[in-house]
Amino acid sequence: MPDAASRPRALLRSFVPADFMTLGNAACGTGAILFCLNYLEAGRHDPYLVGAFLLLPLALALDVTDGLVARGRRQSPFGADLDSLADVVSFGVAPAVLGFTLGLRGGWDAVILCIFVCCGVSRLARYNVTAATLSDAAGKVKYYEGTPIPTSLVIVGLLWIAWLLGHVAEHIWFGGFRVGPAWFHPLVLIYAVSGTLMVSASLRIPKP
């Protein structure tokens, strides 16, 4: 049995090139979150938010590339799990933090943002469990059940436009109002729609 000092090296030796791209995806998502925190701390220092917006499309590029690199090569025992965990960070948590950063900070907003992330986690867990049964004879998954979690970048794109037009924070699209004990901003419903589509069992999207 390897000693404790050798375990980290053994883990790294088991990675294949695609795994490092997946880790790059996770790093981009984490970096976007940190940029959002810096933006809030600095009092809306724009370059921080630009960094967050740029890192999330880069995360998607790495997510797509790791699949292309993995095809026809030695498979990693960690590939599927690494990919799901990275996607949760970059396409689940990071877009939710971005929405919070740009003004969706009401109590009901927070509830919906949390539900959105949970939908993303649930969707990825379902995919990992059902991928084998959804695969054809060649082992290729024929279709997605529900929208893939990277589709949350549509929300990121909308927030980018809102930010460029100055419709964030107190000027956020559709405003906000108090519902019972907490504030609610209707724009947060785009997260509710995205989360619902991700966990849909009836929506089937052909996998390219």
* Run means of pLDDT, 10 residues per run, the chain, 208 residues: 52 76 95 96 85 96 83 67 93 98 97 98 88 59 82 97 94 96 97 96 78
Please give the pLDDT value at position 69.
74
Please give the pLDDT value at position 39.
93
Question: Domains of the chain (ranges plus CATH)?
Answer: 4-206 (1.20.120)
Of 21, 183, 195, 35, the closest CA to residue 108 belongs to 183
What is the C-alpha to C-alpha distance for residues 78 and 182, in angstroms, rounded to an integer?
A: 42
Please give the pLDDT value at position 166.
93
What is the C-alpha to C-alpha distance for residues 54 and 34, in angstroms, rounded to an integer?
A: 13
Please give the pLDDT value at position 1.
46
pTM (2 decimals)? Answer: 0.88
Please give the pLDDT value at position 202.
86
